[in-house]
Amino acid sequence: MSSDLILVIVVATALAFDFTNGFHDTANVVATSISTGAAAPRVAIAYAAVLNFVGAFLSIQVAATIANDVIDPEAISSLNIVYAGLIGAISWNLITWYFGLPSSSSHALIGGMIGSAVAAAGTGAVITDGLVGKVLVPGVVAPVLAFLVAGIAIGLAYRVVRRLRPGPVTRGFQFGQIISGGMLSLAHGTNDAQKTMGVITLALIANGNLGPGADPPFWVIASAAAAIALGTYSGGWRIIRTTGTRIIKMDAAQGFSAQGAGAAVILSSTHFGFPLSTTHVINGGVMGAGAAKRLSAVRWGVAGNIALAWALTLPAAAAIGAATYGLTRIFGTGALGPVLVSLLAISLIAAVFSRRAQRGAPVPAT
Amino acid sequence: MRAAVALATLVEGRELWQTVLASLVSGVGVTVFYSLALYGVTRFADLSRGDRTLAAAAAATLAALAAAACLASVAFGIVVLTRK
């Protein structure tokens, strides 16, 4: 009975994480379309939300990686470990959202899970091969790859259209961004929603509801899809401003190639089950498209701050995850710890949001 | 050197290379095809106004072929993703 109550709390927390993931990350997805004038903010966000939902149903390879290849399911002796990892990820997501930094929700999730698992069962709980081979190395390669793909693509695109009148070219690429932005939203939905599916599946395996190596059930896929889509629709205006305009001023052709590069890298990686940071990839594409035109066009200082947030994400989320696990353990292995921590977390989030509301409206996209 | 070999063993090398290749081909390919389609459409509009029918037809053909290649690439990518 107690473990079932914790399972309900874990599933609800995982879906809350998925919501914050959409809230936090999808701003990055739509920023390019908004900053080039290809779409109005509300339209771009609604479009992204719908395609995030659809994208979540395309594949389950990444969910399988999260459920089986990063943390040893055998080491999850208590659902409190999964719960604490999720709290680590959500907390870091909200902290970086509050300060307007587009850090990685995926790395926050993986960091949080590693932190709580190591706190509970030692370093043996982490599957090193899976962590390095499927998360860390692809995580480093992917943004660099997006940078290169966007850079090469925009270089060739400029060569093709350089003798044309600028008006039709701009309008043509703005129209193209409806497709490339859609593909990027689809890619984001398929890679990011699967991480939540993977965590819920891991919890179901640990609780004995599913056998080892099982795929996520349909209700898990549908609920994760709905949560990320709702989070997406809820917005994330501060981060839109950072990614869309403060890293680089873009034209429509650059926006198209950045989005195309991001979608290509995320979809290809998803096919092989690599749980990427979509934030890293999209920012890599944006910087590649900017640097190919003029290196000084990229605001490297802002890019540096974002890189710092990226570097901090895994250890910070891991530390919060480990601390949360320690806190829940004070109350034993039952449901009391997660219930109390959830109440504390909800109170803190409410306080932060009310403070934000008192300070004024979120920063609009410009 | 030993560390590099150990890392190479851990990394899903073949799958990572396939990801790199697929990303390069699809990401660059779609942008180039779309740019060619845009080139064809814009040239078609300009040439049609100047009564250069043959050149306009060639531009329209280029636009149609490039747009078809662009859409086919996107559709192929989604089909491959959903089949695994």
The verdict on A286 touching B (C-beta cutoff 8 Å) is no
Mean pLDDT across the stretch A66-88?
Answer: 88
A123-153: pLDDT as tens digits: 999 999 888 888 889 988 999 999 999 999 9
pLDDT: which is higher, A1 or A17: A17
pLDDT exceeds cutoff 70 at A366: no
Mean pLDDT across the stretch A289-305?
Answer: 74
pLDDT exceeds cutoff 70 at A309: yes
A109-119: pLDDT as tens digits: 999 999 999 99
Q: Which of A183, A256, A269 sits opposite B74 (nearest CB)?
A: A183
A80-105: pLDDT as tens digits: 999 999 999 988 888 887 777 767 88
Residues of B in contact with A256 (CB under 8 A): 31, 34
pLDDT: which is higher, A99 or A247: A99
pLDDT exceeds cutoff 80 at A353: no
Which two three-digit tokens encode residue A312? 């901090």
CB A70 within 8 Å of CB A113: yes
CA angle at A89 for the pair A86 and A95, rounded to the nearest 5° = 140
pLDDT: which is higher, A158 or B15: A158
Going by pLDDT thresholds of 50, 70 and 90, the confidence category of residue A365 is very low
A5-15: pLDDT as tens digits: 889 999 998 99
The distance of A53 to chain B (nearest Cα, Å) reads 15
Residues in chain B: 84
Distance set, CA A16 to CA A10, A223, A365 (Å): 10, 11, 25
pLDDT exceeds cutoff 80 at A307: no
pLDDT exceeds cutoff 90 at A156: yes
pLDDT exceeds cutoff 60 at A243: no
Going by pLDDT thresholds of 50, 70 and 90, the confidence category of residue A363 is very low
Long-range pairs for A333-340: beta carbons < 8 A, 24 or more residues apart:
A333/A78, A333/A80, A334/A2, A334/A6, A335/A2, A335/A5, A335/A6, A335/A9, A337/A80, A338/A6, A338/A9, A338/A10, A338/A13, A338/A80, A338/A83, A339/A9
The distance of B58 to chain A (nearest Cα, Å) reads 16
Q: Provide the pLDDT for residue A360.
A: 54
| pLDDT lower than 50: segments of chain B | none
CB A109 within 8 Å of CB A245: no
Going by pLDDT thresholds of 50, 70 and 90, the confidence category of residue A292 is confident
Residues of B in contact with A157 (CB under 8 A): 31-32, 34-35
Among chain A residues, the shortest Cα distance to B45 is held by A168
Q: Provide the pLDDT for residue A362.
A: 47
The distance of A159 to chain B (nearest Cα, Å) reads 9
This prediction's pTM: 0.86
Residues 6+ apart with CB under 8 A from A47: A30, A39, A178, A181, A182, A185
* Chain B interface residues (partner A, CB cutoff 8 A): 7, 10-12, 15-16, 18-20, 22-24, 26-28, 30-32, 34-36, 38-39, 41-43, 45, 74, 77-78, 80-82, 84
What is the predicted ipTM? 0.87
Q: Which of A58, A134, A137 sits opposite B81 (nearest CB)?
A: A58
pLDDT exceeds cutoff 90 at A268: yes
Going by pLDDT thresholds of 50, 70 and 90, the confidence category of residue A186 is very high
